[in-house]
Amino acid sequence: MLSAIYGKIVDFRNALFDRGVFRSHNLGARTISVGNITTGGTGKTPLTAYVASILADRGEKVCILTRGYGRKNPARRVLVSNFDSVLADAAAGGDEPVELATKLLGKAVVIADANRVSAGLWAKEEFGITAFVLDDGFQHRKVKRDVDIVCIDANNPFANREMLPAGRLREPVECLERADIAAVVHSEGASALTQLYKDLQNTAPKLAIFEARKTVTRIRPIEDGPVADDHRFVAFCGLGNPESFRVLLAEQGVMIAGFHDFSDHHRYSQADIEALNKAALDKNATAFCTTGKDAVKLDGFRFSLPLFIVEISLSLDDPEGFAALL
């Protein structure tokens, strides 16, 4: 019942945008949206960083516009990064914006603001921005975009086609017709890619489809030091799709003594850390590892063993073709 009501509201809102009753605002610079049609981890954040890096490497002054989910004051505009420095912590700016800002130092301005139209116009004036990337922007239709990219989890692409709250769909699958590019993430572990491609082509015939793979580029200490060698890790994360992190570590041959998942955007406490410390002792682990998204929320906590960050990168099956569409 609730899913049906939610679906009708989504359809009505989309119809108002399609008919021009609700307006999409041009930011005055090339604008690329990276989003999804389901909740949970689909690889959206690493793809946002990938897109921003391509644009920056081609000489664009890039700004990432994001809502900054889970931050203390969601109504406040926060300049997370000004190109050269990270200016906010995860509590003020949100975990994913701070992760993006850290990864893209020297390449992108990052702004957390629910009003992405206002934030974008301000950034263009303040920093001379020539290209915008909308993080989690597929449903944010108030900003006009030149390219719409949708991330799709190859292992659970449409969540049984159930709308929120019964399922994970934010919009009906048919809304993929609005998208220009589909990035099929976790494709290396999927068993039904052929059927997924048929479904996508039947739903949105003009959609350009790329396969995306996550890889571990390195496992480095949270403070300066050598990369990890032969540690037995207790791994932990607070992600929308924690299983994808566990599977990635296993595929990369990382020795995992234990794995602990928390809710998406989890705010850690010392009690959480003490529970992890106990688990590490019980499992005879020699270190902890976590994601970049989680690491930005761990300053000041007392770990009993060294803490490492798993740096994850994204690769596409046709990077030149993808870049050309941007």
Q: What is the pLDDT along the chain (326 residues), one digit of tens a residue?
A: 788 888 899 999 999 999 999 999 999 999 999 999 998 878 899 999 999 999 999 999 999 999 998 899 999 999 999 999 999 999 999 999 999 999 999 999 999 999 999 999 999 999 999 999 999 999 999 999 999 999 998 888 887 788 899 888 999 999 999 999 999 987 565 667 888 999 999 999 999 999 999 889 999 998 766 666 789 999 999 998 899 899 999 999 999 999 999 999 999 999 999 999 999 999 999 999 999 999 999 999 999 999 999 999 889 999 999 999 99
Q: 131-135 and 30-35 as β-strands: parallel, antiparallel, unpaired?
A: parallel
Fold designation for 216-313:
Rossmann fold (3.40.50)
Element spanning 35, H or E: strand 30-35
Which residue, among 135, 125, 138, has the nearest Cα to 99 in the 3D structure? 135
Residue spans of alpha helices (H) in 163-204: 193-203
pTM, to two decimals: 0.93
Amino acid 155: pLDDT: 83
Phi, psi of 259 (to 5 degrees): -135, 130
Edge-to-edge order in the sheet of strand 78-82: 78-82, 108-112, 62-66, 131-135, 30-35, 147-153, 181-185, 208-221, 307-316, 287-291, 233-238, 256-262
Query: Phi, psi at residue 58, to the nearest 5°?
Result: -95, 15
What's the chain's Rg over C-alpha atoms?
20
How many angstroms separate the CA atoms of 322 and 306, rounded?
A: 38
CATH match for 2-213+315-325 among 3.40.50.300, 3.30.70.270, 3.40.50.2300, 3.40.190.10: 3.40.50.300
Establish whether domains 2-213+315-325 and 216-313 are of one fold: yes
For the chain, the domains span 2-213+315-325, 216-313
Angle of helix 95-103 versus helix 44-57 axis, rounded to 10: 30
Query: Looking at 67-138, which runs of residues are DSSP E strands?
Result: 78-82, 108-112, 131-135
Beta carbons within 10 angstroms of residue 154's beta carbon? 21
What is residue 189's predicted lDDT score, i.e. its pLDDT?
59
pLDDT at residue 192, as a whole number = 74
Contact 33, 137 (CB under 8 A): yes
**With contact defined as beta carbons under 8 Å apart, do 124 and 55 qualify?**
no
Q: Look at residues 167, 149, 189 and name the one whose alpha carbon lies nearest to residue 36.
A: 149
User: Rounded to 10 degrees, what is the CA torsion of 81, 87, 91, 95?
Assistant: 30
Residue 57 exposed, middle or buried by CB count within 10 Å (0-12, 13-18, 19+): exposed
Backbone angles phi, psi at 49, to 5 degrees: -65, -40
